[in-house]
Amino acid sequence: MTELLVKNACVIDPLNGILLETMDIPVRDGKIVSSVSSAADVIDARGCLTLPGGIDSHSHVCGTKVNFGRYMSPEDMRAGRTARRGKMHVTSGYYVPTTFGNSYRYSTMGYTTVLEGAMAPLEARHTHEEFTATPHQDMLANTLFDGNWAIMESVRERDFKKTAAIVAWTLAAVKGYSIKLTNPGGTEAWGWGDDLSSIHDPVPNFNVTPAEIIAAMIEANELLGLPHSVHLHCNNLGKPGNYRTTLETFDLVPDKNNARQTLYATHVQFHAYGGTTWRDINSKAEEITRSVNAKPQIVMDMGQIMFGRTMTMTADGPMEFNLYCLHHNKWSNHDVELETGSGIIPVLYSKKSLVNCVMWAIGLELALLTKDPYQCLLATDNPNGAPFVKYPEIIGLLMSRRYRDEEFATLHEGTGQRTAIASIDREMDWNEIAVMTRAGQAKALGMAAQGKGHLGEGAEADIAIYPIRCHAVDPATEYRKVVEGFQKTMFTIKRGRVVARDGEVIVEGANSTFWVNPSVPEDLSVRNDPEFVRKFREYYTVRMDNYPVQDVYLPRGKCIRTEGAL
Amino acid sequence: MKAILNTGRTVPQGEAVEHKASPTYRAVVSVCYMNPVDLMELGITEGAHVAVTSRTGRIVLTTWTSEGVSRGEIFVPLGPYANHIIAPETHATGMPDFKGETVDIVPTDEPVKDVGSLMEEIGGLRYDH
Amino acid sequence: MIIKDVVCPFCGCLCDDLDVEVEGQKVIKVQNGCALAEAKFTGSGRLPAPIRRTPTGWDDVSYDDAIRETAEILVAADRPLLYGWSSTHGDAQSMGVHIAELIGGVIDNTSTVCHGPSILAIQEVGHPGCTLGQVKNRADVIVYWGCNPTEAHPRHMSRYTTFATGFFVPEAQKDRTVIVVDTRRTESAEIADEFIRIERGGDYEVLSALRAIVRGKGNVVPKMVAGVSREQLFRVAEICKKAKFGAIFFGLGLTMSAGKYKNVRNAIELTDELNRHTKFTISPLRGHGNVYGSNEVFTWITGYPYAVDFSRGIAFYNPGETTAVDILRRGECDAALIVASDPGAHFPHAAAAHLAKIPTVLIDPHMTATTPLCRIQIPCTIAGIDAEGTAYRMDGVPIRYRKVITSSYPDDADILKKIHDRIREVQGS
C-alpha cells in the first residue's frame, strides 16, 4: 500500500464543482480516497493551483506517420536535443520530438493522458509500440475508418448493425479506443489521386457519400455504446469557403447521447474559412460557433495555430498534396490499403502571411465565441497547428485581452478586416481553462468514468500542481506569469506517484493504454461472415490471423468492455 | 581488360547466406558474371578463373557467362569476394561504391580462396568447429 | 505439425502466408515460401555455444562470462560502434539503442550500406509512398528501377505487383504494364512489357529526361540519353501519365551507383511530378526482413533512422561521418558490438579489417564471415524462427514474427538486456 497526501492544494475540479478551494487530496494506491493514514508521504502544494492531470483529446504523437515525420526531418531533430540525465533518456526534436521527448514535455506540463489522433488499423502495432515508449501518459488511439472498404459497403447496404459489427471487430483487433473519420470518403478517392469537394459527392467506385458515412458511423457508435463519440476531421480541410461543409456536417448530427456529445469535430479552426481563394479567405468562426452554441450534441477542439515552424501530418492525403503544390516543401504520402491515407509536409506559420494570421485569429475566436467551454477544447492538433508546448501561450491568450491585442498589433495589417478577434472582450477564467484542458476532454472522451479529468473520490490520482497562486495573479494583466506557470508544474502526479518535479521527470514511466472491446452477438460477428473473411484474404496483404495486435503490445492495457444495443 | 564492377543479390547467394563457411556459399559468391564476348576477348571459356584487381585489392574468381551483363562490365554477387576489392570511401554518404568500381581483369590459374582465407588476410582467424 | 500463416523473416517483403511443417524442434518443410524462405527456415550451421578467440584458436565460454566480458569491453571503450540490427526484432533493436545511449557509442544499422542514401533523399524531398496492398489492388503501371526482385525479393511480383490480382486489377498480367529499368538484362527484365536498358551511371540523366517530358519540356531531351532513345523515353512517360495508379519500386541500382542519394531524389521528384497528372507512388525495396524496423525503432527513440552518435550525450547524426563504414575506414572505433548482421561479408574489407584490430563482439546465430574477425561470439535465437517479435515490412506495415520452434538459445534481446544491466552496474548508474 502506498499513500500520499497533497496538502494545501488550491483545487479547481470542474466535474465536481470545486472552484479554487484550498484542500487536501488523500491518495492511496494510485486512487483518490477520503483519507489516508498519518504514515502517508506528504506534498505541500503551498496554496498553488492544483488541477486534474491534463488530457489532450487530439494529438499526433505515436505511430507510422508521426515517426515518418521524424524520419524525414533531421533539421527538426537538431532543433531540440537533450542528453540522458537521471531517469530521462536522450530526446531530440522540437515539433516532432522523439517519443520520450513528447512524454517528458507533456509530463512536465502536467499532462497525464493523451489521445493519439489517428491510427491506421493495419499499422496499429506500430502505434502501440510507440505508446509503450511514451511512458508518462495513459494513451488512447483514435482508429481510422474514413476509407474502410467494408464499412463503405455496409453503409451502401444501409446495414447499420453490420457497420457496427465491423467497427467492433476492428477496435478489438487493433486495440483502438474510438472511431476516427478523416476526410471521410476523400481518403479513398485519394487512392486515385482525387478528392471529394462536398459531403454529398459519391466516393468513386463505392457509391456512398461522406454524409452517409458520417451518419452511419454515428449510428454504429451509439449502437455499440462506445465511451467516446465519432471523432471527425471534416471534409475540405484547409480550403477557403469550407465553413459551409462544416456547417452542413454539423446539421447532420442528431443528439443521441445524454452523457456526452454525439460528434467530436476536431481542429475546427482548419474548417472555418470563408472566402473563395487564399486571396479573400476570412473568418467564419461566428457562423460555426453559432451552430455549435445551438447544438449540445457537438463538441469541437480549436486546432489553434501558433506562429513558427511545425509539421503538418494527417490521414488527409489529398489535403497534404494541395499543401505541397502550394509550398513545394518536401512532401510525404502514405496510403494504407483498404483503410485510409496520410500525408506529411513541414510548414512555417508566419505573421507576414495574411492567411496564417487569419488562421491564428479563427482558432481563438472559436474558443472565445463558444459559450460553454465544454464545447470547445484547447488543442493545436499537435503538431499541425503548433507543437503542444505552445499550450500555455494559448491559455494566456484566452485569459488576457491585453495579450491578444499586443499579439494582434504584430500581425499582418489585413488581419482586422478578415476576422473579429480584435473586437472580442471575453477573458476566460481559471475554471474555463480547467474545463478546456481536462474536464471537457474527460467528458468528451468518456474517460471521466475511468477516473480521468477529475479529483473526486475513486478517481485516478493524476494531479498537476502549477506554481500559480490564482488569488494573487491577475491573468488579464499578468499573463506572462500565467504562461510561465503552465509551462512547468511543481509536481506532476501520475497514479499517485510523483513523476515530474519543477520541469524534470524523476521516475521511469508506467503508463496504461485504454482500449475498447464492444460486445457483439456471435451471429453478427464479422469473423463469422464468410464474405468479410474472403475479401480480407483476397485484398489485404496481411493475413487476418496476423492482423490483430497481440496483448503483449499493451503491457498495462486497460480494456473497456461495452454493452451496446446490438 | 578494364571493366566496371557491379555487385548485387542473387537467389543462390541468398540461399547460402547463413552458411558462410560452406563450399556452396563460396561457390555462389566467388563468381564473376561476364558478357560472353568479353570472355572470348580474354581468350577463356566459362569456368576459367580470373584475377580481378581494383585500386584496393585483388581477388580470384570463377567466370560465368551472362548475356544480361553488358560488355565492359562484370557482375559479382555481394559478399566477401566482391568486398575484398571494393574501396571503403563513401564520398560523405556512408555508402561505398558497390556499383561502379573500375577493375582490371586477367586470366589466371590460381585457385579461388575460401572465405576463411580471405578473412585471415584481413587479420581474422578462421573458426573450425 | 503444420503452422499456418507464418511470417518469413528473410527479406523486406515479410510474406506472412507460409505454412511451416515442424517435427520436434526442426522445420522440415516450408510451403508458399520462395527458395530463400525455405533455406532460411530449414537452415543449419548455427554456432552451438559462445566462443572466445585466443592467440592461437578458439575456446568455448559460458554465456555469463561472454556477457560480462562484452560489458567490460564496451564500458572500457572510448568510441564503441554498435552495428547491425536488421535480422532481429524490435525489442533487440530498442535495447541496442539504449546500450549505445548508456555508453556514448555510435549505433548504425545495415541500411547504411543499403537504402541509407534513400533515407538521405527522403530527408531532402519527402516520400510519396503507400502500403503494398494499395499497389496490389490498384496499380496498372509498375516500374522496377535499378532492382531485381526475381533474385532479391522473389515473391514481390506474385504477392504485390505483376502477377497479383487485386480488387481493381482482377486480371493481373493483362491489366498491368510492367516497366523495368536496369543496366543489366536481368530475369526481372525478361518479364517486363518495356525494358529500359541504361548505361551504367546513367540513372540520374534518364530520370531528369523523364521529368522534363512529364513537365512538358520534352523538347530539351536529346536523341539518346545514357543509352536510352528519346522515343522510348516519350513512350514511357506517356504510359506513366496515362496510368490510373502507378507504382515505382527502386533498389540498390540507384543507391549504390554514382550519384547515390541524388539518384533517389530525382526518382522521388519524378514521382511528385507524375502526381500532378495521376496517382503515383514510389517505394524502396528494402532488403533484410526487419531493416525498416531498425530505422523505425532508432527514429522514435533517437530521432534519426541510422548512423546515430551519442558521444556528445545528445543524439548526433551525420551520415558520411557517423556511418559504420566511415568509422571503420578511419580506424576510429576502439570496440565493436555487431548484432544480427555480417559486415565481414558485406563491408569493403579495407573497412572490415579494423574489426579484427579491436575487441569485437558478435551476437549472431550463425558462423559468418564476421566470426573470424571477432573476439567473442554469442549465439542467439533467430527472430521469426525460434523467437517472436516485431518486424516492419518494407512499406512500414508492422508484423509480428512467430516462433515456430523452441530452442535452447537465448533471445538476443535478453542477451542485450543483460549486457545493458551489467554496464549500468559497472558504471554505477
Is A542 close to C399, i.e. CB distance below 8 A?
A: yes
Same domain assignment for residues C239 and C328: no
**Separation of alpha carbons C121 and C137, rounded Å:** 28
Is B98 close to C328, i.e. CB distance below 8 A?
A: no
Nearest residue in chain C measured CA to CA from A120: C397
Total of domains in chain C: 2
Residue B127 forms part of a structural domain: no
If 0-12 CB within 10 Å is exposed, 13-18 middle and 19+ buried, where does residue A202 land? middle
Nearest residue in chain C measured CA to CA from B92: C320
Answer yes or no: is pLDDT of B129 > 80. no
Residue B21 forms part of a structural domain: yes
Residue C32 forms part of a structural domain: no
Closest listed residue to residue A150, CA positions, set A558, A433, A544, A556: A544
Query: How far is the alpha carbon of B108 from chain C, nearest alpha carbon, in Å?
Result: 22
Same domain assignment for residues C213 and C312: no
Residue B126 forms part of a structural domain: no
Q: What local confidence, expressed as pLDDT, does residue C199 receive?
A: 93
Specify the 3-state DSSP secondary structure of A72. coil
The CATH code that applies to domain A53-453 is 3.20.20.140
Structural domain spans, chain A:
53-453
Summary mean pLDDT of chain A: 97
Residue B42 forms part of a structural domain: yes
**C-chain residues near B54 (CB < 8 A):** none
The answer to whether the CB of C56 falls within 8 A of the CB of C357 is no
Residue B11 has its nearest CB partner, among C45, C154, C260, at C154
Same domain assignment for residues C89 and C152: no
pLDDT in tens, C182-201: 998 999 999 999 999 999 99
Residue B129 forms part of a structural domain: no
Q: What local confidence, expressed as pLDDT, does residue B19 receive?
A: 87
Total of domains in chain B: 1
pLDDT in tens, C171-184: 988 899 999 999 98
Q: In CATH, what number is assigned to the domain containing residue C159?
A: 3.40.228.10
**B-chain residues near C324 (CB < 8 A):** 94
pLDDT along chain C (429 residues), means of 10: 97 98 94 95 92 95 98 98 98 98 98 97 98 98 96 95 96 92 92 95 97 97 98 98 98 95 98 97 95 98 98 98 98 98 97 98 97 98 97 98 97 98 92
Is C101 close to A84, i.e. CB distance below 8 A?
A: yes
User: Could you tell me where the DSSP H helices lie in C139-251?
Assistant: 149-152, 156-159, 172-175, 187-191, 203-214, 230-242
**C-chain residues near B75 (CB < 8 A):** 184
Q: What local confidence, expressed as pLDDT, does residue A187 receive?
A: 97
Residues above pLDDT 90, as percent of chain B: 87
pLDDT in tens, C328-385: 999 999 999 999 999 999 999 999 999 999 999 999 999 999 999 999 999 999 999 9
Name the grid cell of C285.
Answer: 525495396
**Separation of alpha carbons C150 and C173, rounded Å:** 16
Bridge-based pairing of strands A343-349 and A332-335 is antiparallel
Residue C316 forms part of a structural domain: yes
A494 or B15, which is more confident?
A494
Same domain assignment for residues C104 and C120: no
Residue C26 forms part of a structural domain: no
**Separation of alpha carbons A147 and C108, rounded Å:** 37
* Chain A from 116 to 175: CB within 8 A of any C CB: 122-123, 125-126, 129-130, 133, 149
Same domain assignment for residues C313 and C422: yes
**C-chain residues near B58 (CB < 8 A):** none
Is B119 close to C44, i.e. CB distance below 8 A?
A: no
**A-chain residues near C3 (CB < 8 A):** none
Nearest residue in chain C measured CA to CA from B79: C345
Size of interface A-C (CB pairs under 8 A): 184
Residue C278 has its nearest CB partner, among A68, A76, A193, at A193
**Separation of alpha carbons A327 and A84, rounded Å:** 36
Q: In CATH, what number is assigned to the domain containing residue B117?
A: 2.40.40.20
Burial C61-92 (b: 16+ CB within 10 A, else e): bebeebbbbbbebbbebebbbbbbbbbbbbbb
Same domain assignment for residues C315 and C245: no
* Chain C from 31 to 50: CB within 8 A of any A CB: none
Residue B106 forms part of a structural domain: yes
Residue C85 belongs to domain spanning: 47-114+289-427
pLDDT in tens, B42-52: 999 999 999 99
Same domain assignment for residues C108 and C136: no
Is C295 close to A71, i.e. CB distance below 8 A?
A: yes
Asked casually if ipTM beats, i.e. exceeds, 0.90, the reply is: yes
- Which 8-state DSSP code applies to residue C8? P
Residue B77 forms part of a structural domain: yes
pLDDT in tens, C27-64: 999 999 999 999 999 988 899 999 999 988 999 999 99
Closest listed residue to residue A399, CA positions, set A372, A424, A362, A374: A424
Q: Pick from C284, C305, C329: which residue ends a domain?
A: C284
Is A192 close to C244, i.e. CB distance below 8 A?
A: yes
Q: In CATH, what number is assigned to the domain containing residue C411?
A: 3.40.50.740
**C-chain residues near A89 (CB < 8 A):** 98, 101, 301
Q: Mutating which of A71, A190, A336 best tests the C interface, going by the most C Cβ atoms within 10 A?
A: A71
Residue B79 belongs to domain spanning: 2-121
Q: Pick from C231, C250, C284: which residue ends a domain?
A: C284
Is B68 close to C189, i.e. CB distance below 8 A?
A: yes
Residue C74 forms part of a structural domain: yes
Same domain assignment for residues C264 and C122: yes
The secondary structure element, H or E, covering residue B52 is strand B49-53
Same domain assignment for residues C300 and C312: yes
* Chain B from 10 to 39: CB within 8 A of any C CB: 10-11, 14-22
